[in-house]
Structure 1
Amino acid sequence: MATVGGPRAGLPPQQHLPPELLESLLASSADAFYVVDPAGRVQFANPAAVAVLGYDDEAELLGRPSHATIHHKRPDGTPFPDADCPLLRPRTTGEVVRVDLDWFVRRDGSMVPIAYSSSPLETDHGRGAVVVFREVDPHADEDDPQRHGWALELHESRTRIVAAADAARRRISRDLHDGAQQRLVGVLVTLRAAAGRVGDAGGEAASLLKRATEEVQAAIGDLRDLVAGVHPAILTDRGLRAAIDSLASRSPVPVEADVPRRRWPAEVEATVYFLVAEALTNVAKHAPEATLATVRVSASRQRLLVEVTDDGPGGATTAAGGSGLRGLRDRLALLGGTLEIGEAPGGGTRLRADLPADPSAGPLPTLPAG
Structure 2
Amino acid sequence: MDVTERLGSGAAAVLAAFVESIADAIYAVDPEGRVQFVNRAGLAMLGYDDEAQLLGRSSHATIHHSHPDGTPFPEDACPLLRPRITGEVVRVEEDWFIRADGTFVPVAYSSAPVPTADGRRGAVVVFQDITERRAAQDALVRERAVHASRARIVEATLDERRRLGRDLHDGAQQRLVNVALGVQLAARAVPADDAETRELLDGALAETQAAIADLRELAAGLHPSVLTHRGLRGALESLTARAPLPVALDVPDTRFDELVEATAYFVAAEALANVAKHAGATEARVRIATEDDLLVVEVGDDGRGGARVGGDAGGSGLAGLADRVAALDGTLTVDSPTGGGTRLRAVLPI
Q: TM-score, normalised by structure 1?
A: 0.55
RMSD (Å), alpha carbons: 2.6
SS of equivalent residue, structure 2 residue 134: coil
Aligned AA (2:237): D
Match of 2:349 in 1: 356
Match of 1:292 in 2: 283
Aligned AA (1:330): D
Q: Answer yes or no: is the 8 Å Cα contact 1:309–1:344 preserved in 2.
A: no
Aligned AA (2:302): D
User: Which structure carries more relative contact order (alpha carbon 8 Å, separation 6+)?
Assistant: 1
1:336 aligns with 2:338: no
Aligned AA (2:299): V
| 1:141 to 1:312, Cα distance in 2 relative to 1, 3 A | closer
SS of equivalent residue, structure 1 residue 352: strand
* Greater share of helix: 2
| 1:294 to 1:141, Cα distance in 2 relative to 1, 3 A | closer
Match of 1:181 in 2: 173
Rounded to whole Å, the distance in 2 between the matches of 1:176 and 1:212 is: 21
Match of 1:313 in 2: 304
- 2:315 corresponds to which of 319, 322, 325: 322
Q: Answer yes or no: is the 8 Å Cα contact 1:338–1:355 preserved in 2.
A: yes
SS of equivalent residue, structure 1 residue 177: helix
Match of 2:17 in 1: none
Rounded to whole Å, the distance in 2 between the matches of 1:344 and 1:299 is: 26
| 1:286 to 1:140, Cα distance in 2 relative to 1, 3 A | closer
Q: TM-score, normalised by structure 2?
A: 0.58
Match of 2:23 in 1: none
> For 1:35-84, what per-residue CA distance to the aligned partner results, in whole angstroms no more than 9, with x for missing partners?
xxxxxxxxxxxxxxxxxxxxxxxxxxxxxxxxxxxxxxxxxxxxxxxxxx
| 1:233 to 1:165, Cα distance in 2 relative to 1, 3 A | same
Rounded to whole Å, the distance in 1 between the matches of 2:234 and 2:337 is: 26
Q: Answer yes or no: is the 8 Å Cα contact 2:328–2:348 preserved in 1.
A: yes
- 1:151 corresponds to which of 118, 130, 143: 143
Rounded to whole Å, the distance in 1 between the matches of 2:304 and 2:138 is: 51
Match of 1:271 in 2: 263
1:172 aligns with 2:164: yes
Rounded to whole Å, the distance in 2 between the matches of 1:176 and 1:196 is: 29
Aligned AA (1:327): G
| 1:216 to 1:314, Cα distance in 2 relative to 1, 3 A | same
Residue 315 of structure 1, CA deviation: 2.1
Gaps of at least 5 residues in structure 1 are 1-137, 358-370
1:236 aligns with 2:223: no
Rounded to whole Å, the distance in 2 between the matches of 1:272 and 1:287 is: 21
Residue 346 of structure 1, CA deviation: 9.7
Name which of structure 1's ranges 346-355 and 169-178 shifts more when overlaid on structure 2.
Answer: 346-355
Rounded to whole Å, the distance in 2 between the matches of 1:335 and 1:144 is: 22
Rounded to whole Å, the distance in 2 between the matches of 1:315 and 1:205 is: 54
Query: Sequence identity of aligned pairs in percent?
Result: 53
Instruction: Kindly name which structure, 1 or 2, has the bigger radius of gyration based on alpha carbons.
Output: 2
Match of 1:90 in 2: none
Gaps of at least 5 residues in structure 2 are 1-129
Residue 229 of structure 1, CA deviation: 1.3
Rounded to whole Å, the distance in 1 between the matches of 2:253 and 2:157 is: 25
Residue 147 of structure 1, CA deviation: 7.5
Rounded to whole Å, the distance in 1 between the matches of 2:325 and 2:188 is: 53
Residue 140 of structure 1, CA deviation: 11
Rounded to whole Å, the distance in 2 between the matches of 1:243 and 1:277 is: 10
> For 1:330-360, what per-residue CA distance to the aligned partner results, in whole angstroms no more than 9, with x for missing partners?
1111111121111379931111111211xxx
